[in-house]
Structure 1
Amino acid sequence: QPDPAQGPSPAPDPYGPPAPGQQPYGQQPYGQQSYGQPYGPPYPTWGQGYSPYARPSSVNGLAVASLVLGVLCCFPAVGLVLGVIALAQIRKKGQSGKGLAIAGSILSSLGLALWVTALATGGFSDAWEGFKKGATEGAAFSVVKGQCFDAPGESLGGLTYDVEQVPCTGEHDGEVFGEFRMTGGAFPGDAAVSDAADEKCQPLQDAYAMDSWALPEDVDVYYFGPTRQSWRLGDREVTCIFGNTDEHATLTGSLRADESTLDTYQITLLKSLNALDAVLWEEPEDYPEDDLPGYRDWSRDVHDSLDEQIGALRAPSWPDRADKQVEALVKDMEEARDEWAKAVAAAEDDDVDSFYIHYDKGYDYVDGPSTVTARKALGLATKRPSYDEEGDDGSGEPSSGELNV
Structure 2
Amino acid sequence: MSIPPPPGPQQPQGPYQPPQTGPPQYPQYPQQYPQQYPQGPYGQQPPYPSPYQPWGQGYSPYTVPAPVNGLAIASLVLGLLCCLPGVGLVLGLVALSQIRKRGERGTAMAVTGSVLSGIGLALWVLLLATGGAAGFWEGVKEGANDRSTLSLSTGDCFDTPGHALDDDLVTDVTHVGCDGGHDGEVFGTYDLKGTDYPGDDAVGDSADQRCYVLEETYAFDVWAVPDNVAVYYFTPSEDSWAAGDRSVVCAFGSATEGGRLTSSYHEDADSYAPEQVAYLKAAHVLNAALDTAPDSDYIEDDLPGNKAWAGRVATALGEQSAMLRSYEWTADTKQPVLALAADLDKARAEWGKAAKAPDADTFYAHYDKGGKLIDPHRTVTVRKALGLTTVPPAYEEGGGDSGSGGSGSGMQV
In the alignment, is residue 403 of structure 1 matched against residue 413 of structure 2?
Answer: no
Which of 257, 261, 286 is the aligned partner of 1:251? 261
Q: CA deviation at 1:302?
A: 4.6
Residues 111-165 of structure 1 show CA distances to partners (whole Å, capped at 9, x for unaligned) of 9xxxxxxxxxxxxxxxxx9997553125554222112111111112234443222
**Alpha-carbon displacement from aligned partner over 1:8-62 (angstroms, at most 9, x marks no partner):** xxxxxxxxxxxxxxxxxxxxxxxxxxxxxxxxxxxxxxxxxxxxxxxxxxxxxxx
Alignment-derived partner of residue 136 in structure 1:
144
Distance 1:376 1:223 in 2: 32
Counterpart selection for 2:278 from 250, 268, 275: 268
Aligned to 1:148: 157
Counterpart contact for 1:336–1:362, Cα < 8 Å: no
Q: Which amino acid aligns with 1:220?
A: A
For residue 317 of structure 1, what is the aligned residue in structure 2?
328
**Aligned in 2, Cα 1:277/1:178: closer, same or farther, shift over 3 Å?**
closer
**Alpha-carbon shift at residue 208 of structure 1 (Å):** 1.6
Q: 1:382 — aligned with what?
A: 390
* C-alpha spacing 1:388/1:254, structure 2 compared with 1 (3 Å): closer
Letter in 2 for 1:155: A
Native 8 Å contact 1:182 1:237 kept in 2: yes
Distance 2:80 2:307 in 1: 77
CA distance in 1, matches of 2:366, 2:195: 52
Counterpart of 1:212 (choices 199, 217, 222) is: 222
Q: Deviations over 1:76-106 (max 9, x none)?
A: 6765677767xx9xxxxxxxxxxx9897488
Asked if 1:333 is matched to 2:341, the reply is: yes
Q: TM-score, normalised by structure 2?
A: 0.54
Three-state SS of the structure 1 residue aligned to 2:269 is coil
User: Given the alignment of the two structures, is residue 180 of structure 1 paired with residue 187 of structure 2, yes or no?
Assistant: no
1:171 alignment partner, SS class? coil
Which residues of structure 2 form unaligned runs of 5+?
A: 1-74, 100-110, 123-136, 401-405
SS in 2 for 1:175: strand
> What is the DSSP-based 3-state SS (H/G/I as helix, E as strand, rest coil) of the residue aligned with 1:172?
coil
Q: 156, 166, 170: which one pairs with 2:180?
A: 170
Is contact 2:92–2:114 with CA below 8 Å preserved after alignment? Answer: no
The aligned residue for residue 5 of structure 1 is none
Quote the offset at 1:340 in angstroms.
4.9
Q: SS of the counterpart of 1:205?
A: helix
Q: Kindly tell me: are residues 251 and 342 of structure 1, through their superposed partners in 2, closer, same or farther at Cα, counting changes over 3 Å?
A: closer
What amino acid does structure 1 have at the position aligned with 2:387? Answer: G
Instruction: Give CA-to-partner distance per residue, 1:257-291, whole Å, 9 cap, x none.
Output: 33354454333211212322444564996589x99
Letter aligned with residue 324 of structure 1: D
- Aligned 8 A contact 1:306 1:334 in 2: no
Query: Equivalent pairs: percent with the same residue?
Result: 34
Quote the Cα distance in structure 1 between the aligned partners of 2:202 and 2:369: 37
Equivalent residue pairs, number: 302
2: CA distance, partners of 1:356 / 1:183: 36
- 1:299·1:343 contact (CA, 8 Å) conserved in 2? yes
Partner secondary structure for residue 410 of structure 2: coil
Letter in 2 for 1:151: T
- Secondary structure, counterpart of 2:175 in structure 1: strand
- SS state of the match for residue 230, structure 2? strand
The answer for unaligned runs of 5 or more in structure 1 is 1-64, 89-99, 112-128, 393-398
2:347–2:374 contact (8 Å) kept in structure 1: no
Q: Which amino acid aligns with 1:214?
A: A
Is 1:307 aligned to residue 318 of structure 2? yes
C-alpha distance 139-317 of structure 1, shift in aligned 2 (>3 A): same
Whole-angstrom CA distance in 2 between matches of 1:109 and 1:149: 40
**CA drift at 1:309:** 1.1
Do the aligned partners of 1:154 and 1:247 also contact (CA within 8 Å) in 2?
A: no
Contact between 2:332 and 2:385, CA under 8 Å: does it hold in 1? no
What does residue 231 of structure 2 align with? 221
Q: 1:317 to 1:305 in 2, by over 3 A?
A: same
**Alignment of structure 1 residues 4-403 onto 2, 5 Å:** 69=79, 73-74=83-84, 104=115, 107=118, 135-140=143-148, 141-157=150-166, 158-185=168-195, 190-227=200-237, 230-231=240-241, 234-259=244-269, 261-279=271-289, 282=293, 302-318=313-329, 320=330, 323-338=331-346, 340-341=348-349, 360=369, 363-364=372-373, 366-368=375-377, 371-386=379-394, 391=399, 403=410
AA at the equivalent of 1:245: A
Report the CA distance between 1:213 and its aligned residue: 1.6
State TM-score, norm by structure 1: 0.55
Residues 150 and 164 in structure 1, CA contact (< 8 A), matched pair in contact too: yes
Cα distance in structure 1, aligned partners of 2:389 and 2:357: 39
Q: Look up the equivalent residue of 2:216 and give its one-letter code.
A: D
Tell me if structure 1 keeps the 8 A contact 2:147–2:244.
Answer: no
CA-based RMSD of the aligned residues comes to 5.3
